């Protein structure tokens, strides 16, 4: 099966609350930016912010995993060298990273950070990397568990 025509299914969990998750299907010819848009919608977010996906090297965990991870960032982050992930390095552009070209494996985990100020961290698990496509529009939210938290919780003063 052509990876660009196949479907990947991801379980996106909000870190710190394993009972709050979404299952999202996306086509191989779509991008990480498309996945970001699906996550944004699935978690009922209102206001756009910078984001990045982090793909740690196998066997790495904790801070080392993020430090050494391949980063794919929103297009705005890729244009501005002042906010690159590491001095002198620019993250890869999520808008150009096709899902089918990422060589994802079932069971693989990676991170997604939305809003660098409020730091909404998510863990993404690849549940299926090459399922056949069904009719209809993608990305597609397949399942929701738990109520979405407010993007800007009321602060207690």
pLDDT of residue 3: 56
CB 43 within 8 A of CB 23: no
What residue ranges define each of the domains in the chain, with the CATH number in brackets? 7-145 (3.10.290.30)
Q: What percentage of the chain exceeds 90 in pLDDT?
A: 57
pLDDT of residue 156: 56
The label of the residue with tokens 């096709």 reads 98
What is the chain's length? 157
* Model confidence at 1: pLDDT above 60: no
Give the tens place of pLDDT for each residue, 38-62: 999 999 998 888 999 999 987 777 7
pLDDT of residue 61: 72
pLDDT of residue 38: 97
Instruction: In the chain, count H helices and then E strands.
Output: 3, 8
Q: How confident is the model at residue 81 (pLDDT cuts 50, 70, 90)?
A: very low
Give the tens place of pLDDT for each residue, 121-155: 999 999 999 899 889 999 999 999 999 888 777 65
Peptide bond into 29 cis (omega under 30): no
pTM: 0.86
Residue 88, token pair as written in the block: 């002198």
Q: Which of 36, 43, 14 is nearest to 148 (CA)?
A: 43
């Amino acid at each position: 099966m052509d990876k660009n025509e196949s479907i990947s299914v991801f379980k996106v969990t909000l870190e710190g609350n394993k009972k709050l998750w979404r299952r999202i299907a996306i086509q191989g010819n779509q991008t990480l930016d498309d996945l970001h848009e699906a996550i944004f919608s699935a978690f009922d977010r209102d206001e756009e912010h910078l984001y990045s996906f982090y793909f740690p090297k196998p066997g790495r965990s904790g801070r080392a995993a993020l430090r050494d991870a391949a980063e794919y960032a929103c297009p705005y982050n890729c244009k501005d060298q002042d906010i690159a992930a590491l001095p002198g390095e620019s993250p890869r552009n999520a808008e150009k990273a096709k899902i089918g070209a990422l060589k994802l494996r079932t069971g693989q985990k990676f991170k997604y950070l939305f809003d660098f100020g409020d730091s909404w961290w998510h863990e993404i698990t690849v549940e299926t990397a090459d399922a056949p496509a069904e009719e209809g529009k993608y990305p597609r939210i397949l399942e929701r568990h738990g109520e979405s938290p407010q993007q800007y919780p009321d602060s207690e003063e």
